[in-house]
Amino acid sequence: MEEQAAAFLAELGEAQRDVACRPFDDGERRWLEYRPEYRPGLLLADMGTAARKAAHRLLAAALSPPAYAQAMAVIALEEVLDRQEGWRRGRHSEDYRVVVFGSPADDRWAWRFEGHHLSVTMTTVDGVVSPAPVFLGANPARVDLAGQPVLRPLGIEEDLGRSLLLSLPPKLRDRVVVADRAPGDIYSGPRPRSSPIEPAGAPRADLPTAARSMLDELVQVYLGRLSHPMSTDNLHFAWEGGPGPDAPHYYRIQGDDLLIEFDQTTPDGNHAHTVVRRPRGEFGEDILAEHHARGS
């Protein structure tokens, strides 16, 4: 990432770097905005071809190949959504911004690639990477042809979550389903500091062996997006809403320093959100604390 960030910045002119670069301690470093709202950074549309390619290489350095493909599908869906909305809002696939905080040569630096339904933040301190938060959404979540999906970038996350729920025996499923109605959005929301959310549902230890394996597989789908490990201690699984694909639904996986959320909560069931967060350490707060404790 250091190499790709430096290569990205090298492709920018002075005026572009003024937009793309912020001090590490800038107040907008701790930021998450997946709605079509204001965000800092240099717009892809304002970059030359070489700089745009460098920005994509930086994003790809942080994500696994499947997750990078998902991210590209999310970006492409902006054009599909714009068509569905009758071109009224002017959504476009270059409406994403890149911002670098500090210098890749420093012992503390960070970067973010963000736009509607995509937010990837990476923070590096003393060579240790904090890979969160990472948000991927999709609207439309599914585009069909002859009843089969042409594009469904978050389908695996949805299907595995539902399969896990339906695999549970009835009494255990009743514990996991903590609300009959799904929330309007993920609980952590577009906030840089998510409010504490109490674990709900059932702990992994209480699941049957096969369900524990399914939960582990689902967690790895999310953590497999990233090039860096995260803690999976003391997991809980909770579901809200109906079990069927056409009913609004939501699930959450929580651990000691892990929060995974999925929602598909619009009436048409065709608008999905997913996020991976670290309540105790996102935006590098834990590794920054260690850095300062060492007097660095």
Model confidence pLDDT, tens digit, residues 38-97: 999 999 999 999 999 999 999 999 999 999 999 999 999 999 999 999 999 999 999 999
pLDDT tens digits, one per residue of 137-163: 999 999 999 999 999 999 999 999 999
Give me the percent of the chain exceeding a pLDDT of 70. 99
Query: Can you give the pLDDT at residue 194?
Result: 60
Q: Is the per-residue pLDDT at 256 higher than 80?
A: yes
What 3 state SS string does the chain have? CHHHHHHHHHCCCHHHHHHHEECCCCCCCCCCCCCCCCCCCEEHHHCCHHHHHHHHHHHHHHECHHHHHHHHHHHHHHHHHHHHCCCCCCCCCCCEEEEEECCCCCCEEEEEEEECCEEEEEEEECCEEECCCEEEEECCCCEEECCEEEECCCHHHHHHHHHHHHHCCHHHHHHHEEECCCCCCCCCCCCCCCCCCCCCCEEHHHCCHHHHHHHHHHHHHHHCCECCCCCCCCCEEEEEECCCCCCCEEEEEEECCEEEEEEECCCCCCCEEEEEECCCCHHHHHHHHHHHHCCC
**pLDDT tops 70 at residue 223:** yes
Q: What tokens does 128 get?
A: 């240790």
DSSP β-bridge partners for residue 232: none
Phi then psi dihedrals of residue 9, to 5 deg: -65, -30
C-alpha span between 259 and 194 (Å, rounded): 10
Segment 200-211 shows an average pLDDT of 97
| Residue 126 predicted with pLDDT over 80 | yes
pLDDT attached to residue 123? 97
Mean pLDDT of the chain: 95
The predicted structure's pLDDT at residue 269: 84
pLDDT of residue 168: 98
Backbone dihedral angles phi then psi of residue 15, each to the nearest 5 degrees = -65, -35
Q: What is the pTM of this model?
A: 0.96
Instruction: Render pLDDT for 26-41 as a digit per residue (tens, 0 to 9).
Output: 999 999 999 999 999 9
pLDDT value of residue 196: 81
Using the Cα atoms of residue 156, residue 191, residue 233 and residue 107 in order, give the sign of their dihedral: positive
pLDDT at position 296 is 66
